[in-house]
Structure 1
Amino acid sequence: MAQLSDDCFAFGGALLPVDEALAELRARLAPVAGIERVPLHGVVGRILAEDLIAGVDLPPFANSAVDGYALRHADLSHDVDTILSVGGRVPAGGALGRQVQPGETIRIFTGAPMPEGADTVMMQEDAEPLPDGRVRLRPGLKRGANAREAGEDVRAGAVALAAGRLLRPQDVGMAAALGYDALAVRTRLRVALFSTGDELASPGAVLPALKVYDSNRFTLHAALTRLGCTVTDLGILPDHPAAVASALTEAAPAHDLLLTSGGVSTGEEDHVKAAVEAAGSLFFWRLAIKPGRPVALGQVRGTVFAGLPGNPVAVVVTFVHIVRPLALLLGGGTAPPLLRFPVRAALRYRKKAGRREYVRASLVRGEDGAIEARSFPREGAGLLSSLVETDGLVELDEATTTVMPGDAVAFLPFSELL
């Protein structure tokens, strides 16, 4: 099992741009997850541990892409209809067993092997069977049309799926098409999850006076589960450094990542810093990002620790930019750049230069049919409704100071983030 270097999180100081933080993560983190072989039915959502090499061509033989007529392109007229005899029939799984002769065509069906000598397939919609058993074919078809070559999808010996990929249903289909019934995947990253704060109560209990129900723990649990992690919910930690330190120390040996929300700022009641320093080592990242600036990273007894802010919107933003790539990299995966989609702003916004900001927005269609991003009508990093009632985040980079209606902006849909 790979270990992290002692100085893995030894960066801090001034506000750190998000891209620099991600570059540091990619450069310094090594996987801690092991490798196991899992049947194909159980690999979706897992991280591929080894390159998947194609052992066969895909498709393994030349075949027809449509129902129609296989023929020699040289027999087709370029200007007028061509009439050819029908010399046989090849269904999927069958074979003609001989070479196509000049002046004949073969009735063929999707997936059926191309007869020897045939190089083109005329779709049945473009062919007219005649009463005498022959078929009339339209002109203008290109050589090789509707015929799939052996290996045109994937060549034997090629990397069909690269190690580090978070496997999707279509990836599982690719593995099956190449004959694999099991894959080498990373063991699930083990995450210990806490919330911190005396003001929190767990859902399901009677809500005491002056407390609020804890939502962050459940948001993070759901997001980590979608990444294929095994998450242990260890509840709410009180605002007491010794209790936090004890809980983290106890959880560290059985987990690969310790994750908390709340208590990572610099106020008198923010006790995570002292607790982690007592149990291990801690470095603060003050990210140049809004919402979500304070993020704590460190180690407790060799296990990576990450502490997120307490406001629900800040939790989501910092999870997307720090914890998601952190979990993927520790789990042996890759953390590709987020997909940003260009849309038109239907909002006005001003911000300071030098900081990346995220505006919760819904996508709407403008009068001209173009997609526009409309901001949530209220601001505040504690508004859960702003996450529920919007489609994603408008990203305003460090150089941007003003956005006006009609400006082009980058949009990150929640469907790509969580």
Structure 2
Amino acid sequence: MSLLSLEQALDQMLSVLPSPTKTETLAIHQAANRICAKDMISPINVPSFDNSAMDGYAVRLADLAQSMTLFVAGKSFAGKPFEGEWKAQSAVRIMTGAVIPEGADAVVMQEEVNVNADGSVTFTTLPKSGQNIRRIGEDVKQGDVVLKAGTKLNAASLPLLASLGIAEVDVFAPLKVAVLSTGDELVPVGQPLKQGQIYDTNRFAVKLMLEKLHCDVLDFGILPDNQAEFEKSFLTAQEQADLVITSGGVSVGEADFTKTVLEKVGQINFWKLAIKPGKPFAFGRLNNAWFCGLPGNPVSALVTFYQLVQPVIAKLSGLTYSQPVRLQAVAVAKLKKSPGRLDFQRGFYHVNENGQLQVQPVGFQGSHLFSSFVKSNCFIVLERERGNVEAGETVTIELFNELLA
């Protein structure tokens, strides 16, 4: 059976996954990190009136054409506009944010004005029309779409809504994700290890990433290598969750039940991918939930979650997903690789003294060696049919996003 490429796997998954429909309305102060469920339309202009960008003097160019010295007719402060009669051959003292007096063509900053003993002011430069005036609707016009559906609400977008007087926002309901680990050799973190046992770091890592993605996590713990128990937990999990994620059990060993159970209680869309690490990744559909099966090796589990599950969660959550940033860098050391699979090696990139982007591998690249992630800030992405890379060759790097940063 030929192995699917990463691109083929993503296309297959994203083409069958539905967009969410369940929404709720929240006050904006409760909506941080939620996903906007509909386009947000501005009900007002911002600014809502012409106002000054500087402390200075509002002027009419026609007056300055006759004399660069004008008397001061009054003042305009933020929240307290000038209301007196604005006679010819005069200026209005104005503060930043204050309403522009009707008829003004420009604001001259106070540093370009000399105040005379008789109270008049002399302008040292002739302003251009519109100088230092913020026009109504210059930032946002009434009726503009200020946020698209699918936008994550954060410290940039929520204050924007507040500035428009929008107090509530419709958001998609958070995704419910069930997490299970498989294997008699696994022990919860914090308990002593016996001979042949290892800590269940995968479930811990997956939960941390799910929390960063703001999912509701349902932890089903460690499942024993018993097919009946596995199937029972599997069915319970898919009744309660939108997405079920398992770790381990998708290989070909005698105790690897995930594929068998998935074929019995649902359908498997694909099972093996042409990527390294992470070949035994499974994706399928259950009666009430979608399913992603991660490999048991810690690095493989993290890589497949990052590359495959992350966009799945974005689609099911309603988030407009941004592809990770990929750049070209020069390898500063030899990279070992065999042709046949797309390879994600852990690396550390930096900019050298000449402004050149360089990258070096971090530690050994075995799929069981997790410590290298702590020292990494990117994946070195080596093409499927590429072989060994010599120092000095150009490679593609993928910068870690907030999930790993």
Q: Retained in 1: the 8 A contact 2:73–2:85?
A: no
SS of residue in 2 equivalent to 1:393: strand
SS of residue in 2 equivalent to 1:372: strand
- CA RMSD after TM alignment: 2.6
Quote the residue 2:239 is aligned against: 253
Quote the residue 2:6 is aligned against: 18
Q: Is the counterpart of residue 204 in structure 1 residue 181 in structure 2?
A: no
Quote the residue 1:392 is aligned against: 378
Residue identity in the other structure for 1:45: N
Task: Go from structure 1 to structure 2 and tell me whether the alpha carbon gap of 1:339 and 1:240 turns closer, same or farther (over 3 Å shift).
Answer: same
Percent of paired sites with the same residue: 38
Give distance in 2, aligned partners of 1:408 and 1:84. Answer: 65
Quote the residue 1:7 is aligned against: none
Return the offset for 1:417.
4.2
Count, aligned residues: 403
Cα shift readout 1:130-156 (whole Å, capped 9, x = no counterpart) = 444344444375433332221122221
Quote the residue 2:48 is aligned against: 60
Residue identity in the other structure for 2:299: V
State which of 80, 90, 114 in structure 2 corresponds to 1:104.
90
Which runs of 5 or more residues in structure 1 are unaligned?
Answer: 1-12
SS of residue in 1 equivalent to 2:401: helix
Q: Retained in 2: the 8 A contact 1:128–1:137?
A: yes
Cα shift readout 1:304-344 (whole Å, capped 9, x = no counterpart) = 11111122222222112211111121122222322234444
Quote the residue 2:294 is aligned against: 308
Return the offset for 1:161.
0.6
SS of residue in 2 equivalent to 1:388: helix
Give distance in 1, aligned partners of 2:318 and 2:143. Answer: 23
Return the offset for 1:120.
2.7
Q: Retained in 2: the 8 A contact 1:360–1:394?
A: yes
Give distance in 1, aligned partners of 2:53 and 2:8. Answer: 48
Range moving further from structure 2, 13-22 or 376-385: 13-22
Range moving further from structure 2, 91-100 or 205-214: 91-100
Return the offset for 1:115.
2.1
Task: Go from structure 1 to structure 2 and tell me whether the alpha carbon gap of 1:45 and 1:87 turns closer, same or farther (over 3 Å shift).
Answer: same
Give distance in 2, aligned partners of 1:73 and 1:387. Answer: 64
Q: Is the counterpart of residue 34 in structure 1 residue 22 in structure 2?
A: yes
Q: Retained in 2: the 8 A contact 1:99–1:116?
A: no
Task: Go from structure 1 to structure 2 and tell me whether the alpha carbon gap of 1:152 and 1:197 turns closer, same or farther (over 3 Å shift).
Answer: same
Residue identity in the other structure for 2:308: I
Return the offset for 1:364.
2.9
Task: Go from structure 1 to structure 2 and tell me whether the alpha carbon gap of 1:75 and 1:199 turns closer, same or farther (over 3 Å shift).
Answer: farther
Q: Retained in 2: the 8 A contact 1:45–1:226?
A: no
Q: Retained in 2: the 8 A contact 1:98–1:116?
A: no
SS of residue in 2 equivalent to 1:106: strand
Quote the residue 1:10 is aligned against: none
Quote the residue 2:212 is aligned against: 226
Q: Retained in 2: the 8 A contact 1:288–1:354?
A: yes
Residue identity in the other structure for 1:250: T
Return the offset for 1:16.
2.0
Which runs of 5 or more residues in structure 2 are unaligned?
Answer: none
- Aligned runs of 1:17-166 on 2, under 5 Å? 17-32=5-20, 34-73=22-61, 82-97=68-83, 103-139=89-125, 141-166=127-152
Residue identity in the other structure for 1:161: L
Task: Go from structure 1 to structure 2 and tell me whether the alpha carbon gap of 1:85 and 1:301 turns closer, same or farther (over 3 Å shift).
Answer: same
Task: Go from structure 1 to structure 2 and tell me whether the alpha carbon gap of 1:331 and 1:90 turns closer, same or farther (over 3 Å shift).
Answer: same
Task: Go from structure 1 to structure 2 and tell me whether the alpha carbon gap of 1:333 and 1:373 turns closer, same or farther (over 3 Å shift).
Answer: same
Quote the residue 1:236 is aligned against: 222
Residue identity in the other structure for 1:305: F
Cα shift readout 1:185-233 (whole Å, capped 9, x = no counterpart) = 0111111111112111101222222211111112111111122210011
Q: Is the counterpart of residue 167 in structure 1 residue 153 in structure 2?
A: yes
Task: Go from structure 1 to structure 2 and tell me whether the alpha carbon gap of 1:205 and 1:76 turns closer, same or farther (over 3 Å shift).
Answer: farther
Quote the residue 2:400 is aligned against: 414
Return the offset for 1:299.
2.1
Quote the residue 1:368 is aligned against: 354
Range moving further from structure 2, 408-417 or 315-324: 408-417
Cα shift readout 1:334-393 (whole Å, capped 9, x = no counterpart) = 223222344443333254556432221223341324443222032212222211122222
Give distance in 1, aligned partners of 2:380 and 2:32. Answer: 30
SS of residue in 2 equivalent to 1:107: strand
Quote the residue 1:264 is aligned against: 250
Task: Go from structure 1 to structure 2 and tell me whether the alpha carbon gap of 1:217 and 1:138 turns closer, same or farther (over 3 Å shift).
Answer: farther
Task: Go from structure 1 to structure 2 and tell me whether the alpha carbon gap of 1:277 and 1:25 turns closer, same or farther (over 3 Å shift).
Answer: closer
Q: Retained in 2: the 8 A contact 1:33–1:189?
A: no
Quote the residue 1:194 is aligned against: 180
Q: Retained in 1: the 8 A contact 2:59–2:92?
A: yes
Give distance in 2, aligned partners of 1:341 and 1:147. Answer: 41
Give distance in 1, aligned partners of 2:35 and 2:135. Answer: 31
Task: Go from structure 1 to structure 2 and tell me whether the alpha carbon gap of 1:302 and 1:368 turns closer, same or farther (over 3 Å shift).
Answer: same
Return the offset for 1:24.
2.8
Return the offset for 1:56.
1.1
- Aligned runs of 1:268-347 on 2, under 5 Å? 268-347=254-333
Range moving further from structure 2, 47-56 or 369-378: 369-378
Return the offset for 1:276.
1.8
Cα shift readout 1:71-98 (whole Å, capped 9, x = no counterpart) = 3356668xxx944433322222221236
Task: Go from structure 1 to structure 2 and tell me whether the alpha carbon gap of 1:55 and 1:364 turns closer, same or farther (over 3 Å shift).
Answer: same
Residue identity in the other structure for 2:175: L
SS of residue in 1 equivalent to 2:9: helix
Q: Retained in 1: the 8 A contact 2:40–2:146?
A: yes
Range moving further from structure 2, 380-389 or 180-189: 380-389
Larger Rg: 2
Cα shift readout 1:224-255 (whole Å, capped 9, x = no counterpart) = 11222100111111222222211010121111
Task: Go from structure 1 to structure 2 and tell me whether the alpha carbon gap of 1:275 and 1:113 turns closer, same or farther (over 3 Å shift).
Answer: same
Task: Go from structure 1 to structure 2 and tell me whether the alpha carbon gap of 1:368 and 1:95 turns closer, same or farther (over 3 Å shift).
Answer: same
Give distance in 2, aligned partners of 1:217 and 1:82. Answer: 74
